Structure 1
Amino acid sequence: MPLIRSAGLRGFRATVAELGGDAEAYAHAAGLPAAALDADDMLVNDDALARTLEVAAHCLSCPDLGLRVAVRQDLGTLGPLALAIQHSPTAGDALERTSRYLFVHAEAHSLTLEADPYGQPGTVALRYDIGRGRPAPVQGTDLCLGFLHRAIITLIGPYDLRSVELPYRPRAPLTAYQDFFGAPVRIERPSVMLRMPAGLLRHPLDRGDPQLSHLALAFLAEQAARTGPGITQQVHAALVQTLGTAPAEIGAIAALLNLHPRTLQRRLRAHGTTFAAVLDDVRRAAAHRYLTGTDTPLGQVAGLLGLSEQSALTRCCRRWFGATPTAIRRASGST
C-alpha cells in the first residue's frame, strides 16, 4: 500500500466548496479519512487519495478538477523538501533534490530527467511516475503535473515549455490543458512528461542560502534514513495526528492502532527502529515546519511538539539541526 502525505490534497476542500460539492462525502466514498482534508502530514493511502479526486470530478461533472486544485497549491505542499528546493544553487540542483527525496512526500512517486523522446536538440524531458505497473489516474496525474509546472514557474519564472505528454485521453477539452500549461499537449503517449529546454537546468536560483540548504538536506537525509514500511509509517501517522493534543506515549498510540504496547514495540524493533525514534522524527519534522514556516512563539512551539518547556526545544534543535531555534528561524527568514 503506497502512502502519500495528505498535503497532496491541499486546496481540494476549497475547490470542491466553490463548485458546490461535499468534500468529506467524496473522501468517505473513496475510503480516505476526512481528517486528511485539513492536515498536511497524515500518511494516507495513495490510491484512496487519487480515488477521492476521481469521485469528486465525476460527481461535480468537473473533468479538469486536478488542474483546478493545482492552482491552489504552492511549494509548501512538499513540506521540508520545499526548503531544500528553494535554496538550491540552480534549477538543475532543485530538480535533482526533488528526484532524490520525492519519496519522503509520496512513497511510490518518482521524478527523473531523461533525454528528449523525440530527439530534439537542446531539449530534455522531466518524467513523472506514480509507481511502476500502476495506471496513471487522470485527476491525480493532472494535479501532480500542474503542481510541478507551477513550481518551476515559482522558482525561475515563465519558461519555454515545449510540450506536455500525457498517457491518457483527458475528459476535459484539450484547450483547458493548453491554456493551463501554455504549451502543446500530446495525449496517449508512453509516459507523463514535461519537455523543456536543457539550458533551464543551469538557471541560477538567486535566493539560495547555503546554510539553510545544508540544514534542509541534512534533515531530509536523516528523515529518509528513518523511513520504513508498514508499522513504522502507521505509528508516524498516528503521532502526527495527536502530537501536542494527547500524551506522546506508546500506550496511547498502541491503543489507536489496536495493539498491545509490547507488540507495537516488538514490531518496530523488527523494522530496525523504536517508538522513541519515530517520535523524535515526528517532532523534528514538526519543529522544522514551525520554525521555518511560521512565527509561532517558541514556548508555544515546544507545547505543540509535546515538550515540557522551551529549554527542551532548544536542546532538541541543537541535537537535530546543530543550531538553536532562534538561529534556525532567523536563517529561514521567518522572523
Structure 2
Amino acid sequence: MVSLVRATNLWGYGDLVRELGADPQPFLSRFHIQPGVEYEEDAFIPFEAAVRLLEVSADELNCQDFGLRLSRWQGMDILGPIAVIARNAHTVLDGLESIASYLYIHSPALKLTVASATAGADVRFTFEVVEPGLPYVLQSYELSLANGARMIRLMGGPEARPRAISFMHEQRGSDAAYSEALGCPVRFGQKWCGFDLPQHLAGKCIVGADPETRRIATKYLESNYLPSTATLSERVAALARRLLPTGQCSVETIGDQLALHPRTLQRSLAAEGVRCQDLIERERRDQASKYLAEPRLHLSQIASLLGYTEQSTFNRSCRRWFARTPRQYRADLKLSGVSSSPASAD
C-alpha cells in the first residue's frame, strides 16, 4: 500500500538546503515533489518520496543530522487541525493521546502507540514508520522525534522534556545536535523507537487550553476526514482530492492506497453504481470550480493543482465541464459575484 503524508512534513526543507549551500530544486525534482507544495493548504505528497528525499539530502549534503536540523522549522503546527485538538487538551497526556489517535490523518504510514501506564511509572510512547517496502529511514525517525520533543514543550511548558528518547539506530549526529533538538537523554541501538514521559508531566494541565476550541476542531476533523464507516466510493473521492495535486491520481494509485488491485477496486465500485474514473472526474471538476473562484491563483497553478501537466488539457476539460474556457468561467463567476476578489490572476 502506497501512503501519502501531509506536505507540511517538508516545512523548512528549502531553507535548510540553501543554508547548507545547495539548491533544493534538483532534489525535489528527483522525487517529483512540486516546490512550495508544503505551504499549500491540506496538500499531500507520496510518503516514500518525502522520506527518501530526506535520506538522499542528508547523504549528498554530508549532513547526518539533517532531520534534527529540519525540526527547527517545524513542530506541532505541521499536524494542522490535529495540533489544535492537542494544544487544547486538558493534560499533556491527553494531548499526546489525541495526536496518537489522529496521526493516521497526517499519514497512515506513521504510528504512535501509547502503552498502558502503571501508577507512578513513566508513560511510554512507541513511534513507528509502518510503510512496507522501505529501508530504515533514519532521518524521518529523528525528525519525527525532534518534532515530538517540541510538541511536548509547547503543551507542557519550556522546561518540559521526555525522560529519554530511544532510537533503534546508532548515533549519527554530534552530541550537541541531539541535545539542541531533543533536550533530553538519548539512547541508541534500542529495540524500539519513541520516548518515556514522566508521570508528573503526563498529568500536567495545558495552560490556556480551551475545551470549546478543542470541540470545534474535533468536529471539523471528523467532518472533513472519513470515519471507518465510510463507503468505498466516499473513500475514493476523498483520496482523489488528496492525490490530484500530486499528478498521480489514477485508478492504480487509488487502488494502492486502498490495498486493492485496480480490477477489484473497479468491481467493488460497480457494486455501488459508480466508476473510479467518474469519481476522479467529478472531484477534479469540483476542485476546478473552487480554484477558479479564487482570483489569486493563476490558471497555470490551477492546472497543476488538478494534476494536469499541460494548460491545454485543462482548457479542454473546462470546455467539457462548463462549456467555457477557464478564463470565460472565471469571468462569469466575477460577474455573478461568486469570485472572492475583483482582481484576477490570469
The aligned counterpart of 1:139 is: 139
The aligned counterpart of 2:226 is: 225
Q: Which of residues 275, 278, 293 in structure 1 aligns to 2:283?
A: 275
Distance 1:277 1:34, change over 3 A: closer
Q: CA deviation at 1:20?
A: 0.8
Alpha carbons 1:232, 1:278 under 8 Å: kept? no
Mapping of residues 22-33 of structure 1, within 5 Å: 22-33=23-34
The aligned counterpart of 2:152 is: 152
The aligned counterpart of 1:127 is: 126
Per-residue Cα deviation, 1:55-107 (whole angstroms, up to 9, x for no partner): 11112111101011101113221111111112112212211211111111112
Take 2:236 and 2:192, find their aligned partners in 1: how far apart are those partners?
A: 29
The aligned counterpart of 1:111 is: 112
Mapping of residues 1-335 of structure 1, within 5 Å: 1-114=2-115, 122-131=121-130, 135-157=135-157, 158-225=159-226, 232-238=238-244, 266-267=275-276, 275=283, 308=338
Alpha carbons 1:2, 1:45 under 8 Å: kept? yes
Alpha carbons 2:79, 2:106 under 8 Å: kept? yes
Take 1:278 and 1:79, find their aligned partners in 2: how far apart are those partners?
A: 23
Worse-superposed segment, 28-37 or 212-221:
28-37
SS of the residue corresponding to residue 275 of structure 2 reads: helix
Q: Percent identity?
A: 23
Q: CA deviation at 1:23?
A: 1.1
Take 1:141 and 1:208, find their aligned partners in 2: how far apart are those partners?
A: 29
Corresponding letter in the other structure for 2:143: L
Q: Any stretches of 5+ residues in structure 2 without a counterpart? A: 254-269, 295-332, 341-346
Distance 1:193 1:241, change over 3 A: closer
When normalised by structure 2's length, the TM-score is 0.66
Corresponding letter in the other structure for 2:239: Q
Distance 1:90 1:192, change over 3 A: same
Take 2:238 and 2:16, find their aligned partners in 1: how far apart are those partners?
A: 33
Take 2:286 and 2:128, find their aligned partners in 1: how far apart are those partners?
A: 28
Q: Which structure: larger Rg?
A: 2
Alpha carbons 2:162, 2:184 under 8 Å: kept? yes
Moved over 4 A (4+): 132-135, 226-231, 268-271, 276-279
Alpha carbons 2:122, 2:196 under 8 Å: kept? yes
Distance 1:182 1:52, change over 3 A: same
Per-residue Cα deviation, 1:286-318 (whole angstroms, up to 9, x for no partner): 9xxxxxxxxxxxxxxxx9xxx9267xxxxxxxx
Worse-superposed segment, 12-21 or 107-116:
107-116
Q: CA deviation at 1:8?
A: 0.3
- The alignment yields a C-alpha RMSD, in angstroms, of 3.6
Q: CA deviation at 1:37?
A: 4.7
Alpha carbons 1:122, 1:199 under 8 Å: kept? no
When normalised by structure 1's length, the TM-score is 0.68
Q: CA deviation at 1:40?
A: 4.9
